[in-house]
Amino acid sequence: MNATETLADLTPKRPKRADALRNYEKLIAAAREAFSAGGTTSLEEIARRAGVGIGTLYRHFPARQDLLEAVYLEEVEGLCRTADDLAGLEPWDALVAWLHRFVGYLATKQALAEQLLEYLDRDAAFFRGCRAAFQTAGEPLFEHAQAAGVVRSDATFGDTIQMVSAVAKIPGIAPEQVDRILDMALDGLRYRA
């Protein structure tokens, strides 16, 4: 099973008409920006930022939870697509690039998850499906790097995700510093004869 199949039951149906799809994508982009900034942004403000009417927003997303879930899923799908896009690189380079993208996903995820937890439990099927999808996407990159002999044999994908997550959650540092610290931490993951 691939990551797309894992998310299939969770993903809302995207509109087929070109104009409706454009509005849907504008709403997702505006909501991602608003939700990532923290705090509570009204749906009316999101519709205004997207340049559409509130009725258009409600046609696509009948409730705030629907919009939050759609934005969250877009982030997970983007992370999964990145794994596919990187599969042709050298194993170490593919894994490191995906883990850097994972850090970016975590930044957005954290803001969205806090708001989604007002509606869902941490162990809800929605969150389990998202975790399964990113693991399904990222674990083959890890295993390929391990099989190529560039990742320590005693490391696991789960350990690596925990390490990267901890680096991503360091409070009060600039994104470029997170990248630098992540590279130092990943250096410890590299196999050395």
Do 164 and 185 contact (CB within 8 A), yes or no?
Answer: yes
Q: CA-based angle 77:138:190, to the nearest 5?
A: 145
Q: Give the Cα separation of 99 and 28 in Å (integer).
A: 24
- Residue 185: what are its φ and ψ, rounded to 5°? -65, -40
- Residue 158 neighbours by CB under 8 Å, 6+ apart: none
Q: Does domain 3-187 have CATH number 1.10.357.10?
A: yes
Half-sphere exposure of residue 37: CA atoms within 13 angstroms, side-chain side: 11
Q: For residue range 61-107, list pLDDT tens digits in order.
A: 999 999 999 999 999 999 999 999 998 999 999 999 999 999 988 88
Do 47 and 116 contact (CB within 8 A), yes or no?
Answer: no
- What is the SS3 assignment for 190? strand
pTM above 0.75, yes or no: yes
CA distances from 29 to 112, 185, 192 (A): 13, 32, 43
Could you tell me the residue ranges of all domains in the chain? 3-187
pLDDT at 43 > cutoff 70: yes
Check residue 189 and report its DSSP letter. T
pLDDT at 6 > cutoff 60: no
Do 110 and 117 contact (CB within 8 A), yes or no?
Answer: no
Instruction: Give Cα 8 to chain centroid, integer Å.
Output: 16
pLDDT at 1 > cutoff 90: no
